[in-house]
Amino acid sequence: MNPMEAMRMEEEKLLRTDRLPHVWCPGCGIGIVLNAFLRAFIKSKMDPNKLVMVSGIGCTGRTAGYVNVDSFHTTHGRAIPFAVGIKFARPDLNVVVFSGDGDLFAIGGNHFVNAARRNHDLLVIAVNNFTYGMTGGQHGPTTPTGAYTTTTPYGNPDRPFNIPHLAISLGAPYVARWTTYHVMQLQNSIYHALHRKGFRVIEIISQCPTVYGRRNDMKTPLEMMHYLQKYSYRKDDATFEEMELTYNGKIVVGVFRDVQGIPTYEERYEEIIRRAQK
Amino acid sequence: MKPGYYFWSGDIAAAEGAIAAGCRFYAGYPITPSSEIAERMALRLPQVGGKFIEMEDEIGSIAAIIGASWTGKKVMTATAGPGVSLMNENIGLAAMTEVPLVVVNAMRGAPSTGLPTLIGQGDLMQAKWGSHGSYEIISLYPDSVQETFDLMIDAFNYAEKYRVPVIYLIDGMLAHMYEKIYVPPEDDIVRIERKRPTTPPEETLIYKADDDLVPPMPRIGEGYRIHASGLTHNEKGYPELTPEAQEKLVRRLNDKIRKHAEEIWKVEEYKTEDADVIVVAMGSESRSVRFAIELARKEGIKAGMLRLITIWPFPYKFIEKYDVPYIVAEINYGQIYHKVREYARKVELLPKMGGAIHKPEEILRAIRRMI
């Protein structure tokens, strides 16, 4: 068996193949991100019985349901605090939040900033497709200014989140951004992040041709991929200004922060228990 | 705590009762008049190897305890009406995914910010109907500091036994009132643990219920590889978005409580055997009603009281049992009154908008009017 086939078999063990076909549209980027995650996880040789996947609501929110591990499809915006409860109660579990930009940064924004501030030991895979896909393509907290969506028919007057800037400002020890074009870099980055501790954030710019691309001059998945390929460049020491995303503009990718040794909330609480029991 | 006598507030008794019941995880957000529960838990839980976390809001608090409950821990949060309003979406998630947990609501004057430091009983309907859809929860409501401790053991036991959220109502008066309380020896406390699957993971359907309509609950991290979703799901836990799956699931979620209602009901029947008029009351309000019953009996009026300890599922058979006129004395503009009216021949509402309980004389006048 060649290594590709072997990897495929390993991946299928981690998927609920009895739930296929999945709900995602043809050309969607979420599957690419899930694939990268599964390959990184397999490569890490970590125990799948200790892996917990938590998703919120939305297209990316469906991810947890397809992964054959302990997995939760929670309420809109609440994947992070749900995961916090699991991790804090059972620090030996490997807890991954896999959700979308609207879920994590609009309705769930308060949980993101506070969980990052407390440095819970969670890996957050944030798929950013610039829109609310499940509900039909409304603008969200990451839609670039000027973009056309079903609720910004004259162009988006709103300003998008600069997610890496936000995460770094909160002290998150690992912050990276990739696109679905950067399959190998993304996979390596997830592998790397799985071996780090603390609140780790990986933003993935992903294509949604069905409801976003077609309103913004990128009607096909291929056109969206071309955009991600042509306009992205790697710069690990990018400034916060460079990390900003603009309408059909440049996308800076890379590992913007990777520091070790910051105690996690879970570690700090162990000390609290020691003090209380003295 | 060591067995013996203590001088505690209702809030402290709620926290200590929870710890005695086996609660080892608390996530919460401060709000008057429940904040002392969080303070007590922050102090006490790490002493017993438990975990306390102050979250960014009530929505996060309940999300965290639902997650923690799946690790096998007994979990709780405490708040007041405004906090329950925020938690309601996830109370629905806990009902739908059958997660044992306890939410304490120290009821204050409402609506909105209302009277933060003063009593209210305006959240009785919210406890049952707060989240969207048809679902059942269990709600209990003590009337003294001692009962706040004792009944908390039942609250956790019900949550574990039926895999359901328990809304533990106290009120602003009870939360802050200090009374002498007896903590029983460890051996006298009966704790129920949730059922766990006895079959290996590959043979286990995580939402397949036993005859009691309650499915055994696996712990995460043990190879069961569960999937829990707020979507309508089948016995495997997989989303199944059909009327048939909805019928089967939602019917069972309701029936598992309705069919055990008589085991869950707790009602104090105070001088009701010979009563010509019965006052229905709950929580701190019942203390004034008890006094009014004595005043009425001195006047020769045979009055009694039904004190509802279980609020939900509503203990309607106790109302049906007596063919007498009822008065419902509650600190709101008519909530449990409507439930009593479903089962009684004649009912009068004695409302108070909030901030205080009725004076015994006010209740006595209502009793006189009914005779």
Interface touch B64/A90, C-beta < 8 Å: no
Answer yes or no: do B66 and A82 touch at CB < 8 A.
Answer: yes
Nearest-10 crossing angle of helices A183-194, A30-44: 50
**Which of A14, A15, A88, A275 to probe by mutation at the B interface, max B CB count within 10 Å?**
A88
Domains: count for chain B: 2
Q: Are residues B34 and B165 in the same domain?
A: yes
Mutation target to probe the B interface, by most B beta carbons within 10 A, among A70, A267, A269 is A70
- Residue B64 has its nearest CB partner, among A81, A93, A269, at A81
Residue A110 belongs to domain with CATH number:
3.40.50.970
Q: Is residue B220 part of a domain?
A: no
Q: What is the CATH number of the domain that holds B39?
A: 3.40.50.970
**Which residue in chain A has the smallest CA separation from B238?**
A65
Q: Which of A216, A214, A199 is nearest to A26 (CA)?
A: A214
Distance of alpha carbon B130 from alpha carbon A248, whole angstroms:
44
DSSP secondary structure, B114-145, as one string: -EEEEE--TTHHHHHHSSSSS---EEE--SSH
Q: Which residues of chain B have pLDDT under 70?
A: none
Nearest CA in chain A to B44: A276
Q: Do A59 and A100 form a contact (C-beta atoms < 8 A)?
A: yes
Cβ separation A88–B53 shorter than 8 A: yes
Q: Where are the alpha helices (DSSP H) in chain A?
A: 3-13, 30-44, 79-89, 101, 109-118, 163-169, 183-194, 221-231, 240-243, 265-276
Which domain CATH number covers B301? 3.40.50.920
DSSP states of B257-288 as a string? HHTTHHHH--EEEES-TT-SEEEEE-TTHHHH
The range of the structural domain enclosing residue A176 comes to 3-276
Q: Which domain holds residue B278?
A: 268-370
What is the length of chain A?
278
Residue with tokens 């969206």: A224
CA distance A201 to A93: 18
Boundary (domain end) residue, out of B167, B188, B209: B188
Q: What is the pLDDT of residue B312?
A: 98
Q: Is residue B276 part of a domain?
A: yes
Q: Rounded to whole angstroms, how far apart are CA atoms A22 and A30?
A: 11
Q: What is the reported pLDDT for B285?
A: 98
DSSP state of B203: G
Q: Is the peptide bond before B33 cis (omega within 30 degrees of 0)?
A: yes
- Determine the residue type at A137: G
How far is the C-alpha of A99 from the C-alpha of A204, rounded, in Å? 11
**Token pair for B26:** 């608390």
Phi-psi region of B4 (alpha: psi -120 to 50; beta: other; left: phi over 0): left
Tokens representing residue B254 in the block:
């309701």
Q: Which residue of A has its CA nearest to B59?
A: A78
The owner of tokens 């009602």 is B267
If chain A, 278 residues long, is cut into consecutive pieces of 10 residues, what is the mean pLDDT of each piece?
92 96 96 98 98 98 98 98 98 98 98 98 98 97 98 98 98 98 98 98 98 96 97 98 97 98 98 97
- Per CB-CB distance under 8 Å, the chain A contacts of B73 are 89
Q: How far is B230 from chain A (nearest CA, A)?
A: 6
Please state, in angstroms and rounded to a whole number, the distance separating the CA atoms of residues A212 and A156.
12
Yes or no, beta carbons of A84 and B221 under 8 Å apart: no
Asked if residues B144 and B101 have their Cβ atoms less than 8 Å apart, the reply is no
Please name the member of B25, B63, B224 whose beta carbon is closest to the beta carbon of A81: B63
Number of domain units in chain A: 1
Neighbours of A260 (CB within 10 A): 9
Contacts of A18 (CB under 8 A, 6+ apart): none
How far, CA to CA in Å, does A127 sit from each of A102, B1, B229? 9, 48, 20
CA–CA gap between residue A15 and residue A275 (Å, rounded): 43
Element spanning A71, H or E: strand A70-73
- Measure in Å the smallest separation between the Cα of A219 and chain B Cα atoms: 30
Residue of A nearest to B223 (CA): A49
Q: Are A121 and A266 in contact (CB under 8 A)?
A: yes
Given this model, what pLDDT does residue A1 score?
Answer: 82
Contact between A88 and B60 using a beta-carbon 8 Å cutoff: no
Which residue in the set A82, A89, A93 is minimally distant from B63, CB to CB?
A: A82
Q: Strand A200-205 to strand B227-229: parallel, antiparallel, or no bridges (unpaired)?
A: unpaired
Q: Which amino acid does the sequence have at A236?
A: D
Length of chain B: 371
Residue B300 and residue B184 in one domain:
no
Domain-ending residue, one of B188, B208, B225: B188
ipTM for this model? 0.97
Contacts of B225 in chain A (CB under 8 A): 48-49, 68-71
Q: Is residue B111 part of a domain?
A: yes
Rounded Cα distance between B190 and A273, Å, is 27
Interface of B with A (CB under 8 A): 25, 27, 43, 46-47, 49, 51, 53, 55-57, 59-61, 63-71, 73, 75, 89-90, 93, 220-231, 238-239
Contacts of A223 (CB under 8 A, 6+ apart): A209, A213, A217
Q: Which residue of B has its CA nearest to A266?
A: B51
pLDDT at B164: 98
pLDDT tens readout for residues A11-55: 999 999 999 999 999 999 999 999 999 999 999 999 999 999 999
Compute the distance between CA of residue A51 and CA of residue A41 in angstroms, rounded to an integer. 9
Please give the pLDDT value at position A261: 96
- Three-state SS sequence of B283-296: CCHHHHHHHHHHHH
Sign of CA dihedral B4, B8, B13, B16: negative
CA B57 – CA B300 distance, rounded (Å): 53
Of B25, B60, B93, the CB nearest to A89: B25
Residue whose C-alpha is closest to residue A201's, from A84, A119, A78: A119
Asked if residue B158 and residue B294 are part of one domain, the reply reads no
Does the distance separating the beta carbons of A86 and B67 come in below 8 Å?
A: yes
Mean pLDDT of chain A: 97
Q: Are residues B161 and B287 in the same domain?
A: no
User: Cβ–Cβ of A52/B220 closer than 8 Å?
Assistant: yes
Number of other residues whose CB lies within 10 A of the CB of residue A196: 15
**B221 HSE (CA, 13 A, CB side):** 17
Contact, B260 vs B252, CB < 8 A? no
Asked whether the bond before B111 is cis by omega within 30 degrees of 0, the reply is yes
Domain boundary pick from B188, B203, B220: B188
Contact B46 A82 (CB under 8 A): no
